[in-house]
Structure formats: structure tokens, C-alpha cells
Homo-oligomer: A and B are copies of this chain.
């Protein structure tokens, strides 16, 4: 299907502040960016680079005053998401080198602390896809999804204690559980068609069989219509905007996803 996605951020900048943005849709993962707009007002020098995961990052110094970022894209994406019950667990010694970082604990996914819980959740599951399904279902059932409930990232340990979280929190809880039983998992930030309420979204992928598969603990169905913006170990790696200091106030954020044709 063809989607038009957009995100409009408006800030009030009290003190000149460095921002690192990740707002370009990802190039190179089964989605085709047909048209893209990226406007920053006022205009200013922007330094663009690609991180070790292939995400596009923009660095800039936001000047004092009103500051806005508008990004939009027309993207061809798949209508449905591949599922693969029974896909096998990949022994660590056979994982591609590039997948290894997604096996390690990271800032918000303390996988070194969840081995017992993960083994309990997956006790009856076949190694591989079915383990991840059990984890995904467990997170959906155990951690209440409350959109808009947290402003700054919590770690999996904190989310587990708290019992509720935003999409990112649920995804990171699931990632920590997967890694703790040696299944590589990564966070995806992007757009999802028909998300309720509309917002930027986060879900996760697990490496099983011979590729990455998509899971989303916040949604009962694994719908298609997903536009990937960035991949990373967790929200420390992939933040749509990362502010250094506290000089920037986000006044509004307007996210849209429209179906152009199917």
C-alpha cells in the first residue's frame, strides 16, 4: 500500500540547543520512499550522517525562538507483515556478525536481569519464533499499554515494576526478554497506519530463522502499513529527537498517516 506520513514538531527554544534528529524514513528495508519533504524553520546549517545501524541522523543547533520541523513522505510498504510460526532459533555461533549487538543488554533493555522470567514465560514454547510469540503475548497481557503516559524513557526493569507504559516501553520489555534467552531483538521506530490514537509508534523485531521478524505488543493484530524510521538497540539509539540540555520545549507534535492507494 502507498501511505503519506508526516510529522510536524513545533518547539519554543529558550536557549540555543543541540538536537539530534532521526526523522527520515529508513532507506533499504522493504519500503520505497517515493517522495520526501524535510523542512526546518528557520533554515540553518544541518549536519547529516548515517549511524552504524544505517539510520540517517541530523544534527543542528536550534536557535532561540520558534523552531519547527516538518517531515513528510510517500512510502510504498507491504500490506501484511510476514509471520513464521515455527521459525527456528539461530544458535549464537551461527548469527551474522551484524546481528550480535542486538543480543547484548542495552540502556533500556537490561536483558541480563530477565533470564528467569523469560524462561518461565517460554517454558512450553519451541525455540525460536514461538518463544518470541509467547513473550509478545505475555507483554501485551502483563504490561498495560497507556499511550502518552511517559515523557522520558523507562527501562525494562522500571516498566516491569510499574506495570504500564507507552509503546516504546512495551517493545523494550519484550526486547529485554528475548535477548535474555539469546534471541536478538531490536527496537523499531516508525509510523503505523490506523494507530489509535495516532502518534509516532515503536515496536520490535526479533532475529529468527534467517531474518528479522516484526512483533508489536501494543496491537492485537499484526497489521501492515508500517513505515520504518529507525532501528536500534533501544530508545537510546533511536530517538526521533534527542535534545542536549533542557532549552527546547516541545509545544506541539502532529503526526498523520493517510492511505493514498492500495
How far is A59 from B112 in the complex, measured between Cα atoms in Å?
19
- Cβ-based interface call for A255 (8 A): no
Q: Which of B52, B92, B106 contacts A236 (CB 8 A)?
A: B106
- Encode A142-158 as 1/0 by CB contact (under 8 A) with B: 00000000001100000
- Cβ-based interface call for A127 (8 A): no
A244 cross-chain contacts in B, Cβ below 8 A: 92, 182
Chain B residue with the shortest CB-CB distance to A35: B37
Chain B residue with the shortest CB-CB distance to A49: B97
A36 cross-chain contacts in B, Cβ below 8 A: 33, 35-37
A242 cross-chain contacts in B, Cβ below 8 A: 104
Which candidate, A38-46, A198-206, A219-227, is the interface stretch facing chain B? A38-46
- Cβ-based interface call for A83 (8 A): no
- Cβ-based interface call for A56 (8 A): yes
Interchain CB contact under 8 A, B38 and A38: no
- CB-CB contacts below 8 Å: A216-262 with B: 236-237, 242, 244-245
Q: A93-B18, A112-B152 are in contact. Are A237 and B104 (CB under 8 A)?
A: yes
- Cβ-based interface call for A7 (8 A): no
Interchain CB contact under 8 A, A100 and B51: yes
Interface residues in A, total, Cβ within 8 A: 49
A104 cross-chain contacts in B, Cβ below 8 A: 107, 236-237, 242
Q: A36-B35, A50-B54, A112-B152 are in contact. Are A61 and B105 (CB under 8 A)?
A: no
Q: Which of B32, B46, B91, B106 contacts A107 (CB 8 A)?
A: B106
Interchain CB contact under 8 A, A18 and B92: yes
How far is A56 from B90 in the complex, measured between Cα atoms in Å?
22
How far is A43 from B260 in the complex, measured between Cα atoms in Å?
15
A93 cross-chain contacts in B, Cβ below 8 A: 18, 47, 59-61
Interchain CB contact under 8 A, B236 and A105: yes
Interchain CB contact under 8 A, A100 and B27: no
How far is A33 from B105 in the complex, measured between Cα atoms in Å?
30
Interface residues of A (CB under 8 A from B): 18, 20, 24, 27-28, 32-39, 43, 46-52, 54, 56-57, 59-61, 76, 91-93, 97, 100-101, 104-107, 109-110, 112, 152-153, 182, 236-237, 242, 244-245
Q: List 10 A-B contacts (CB under 8 A).
A: A28-B49, A33-B36, A35-B37, A36-B36, A47-B93, A51-B100, A52-B101, A59-B93, A104-B236, A104-B237
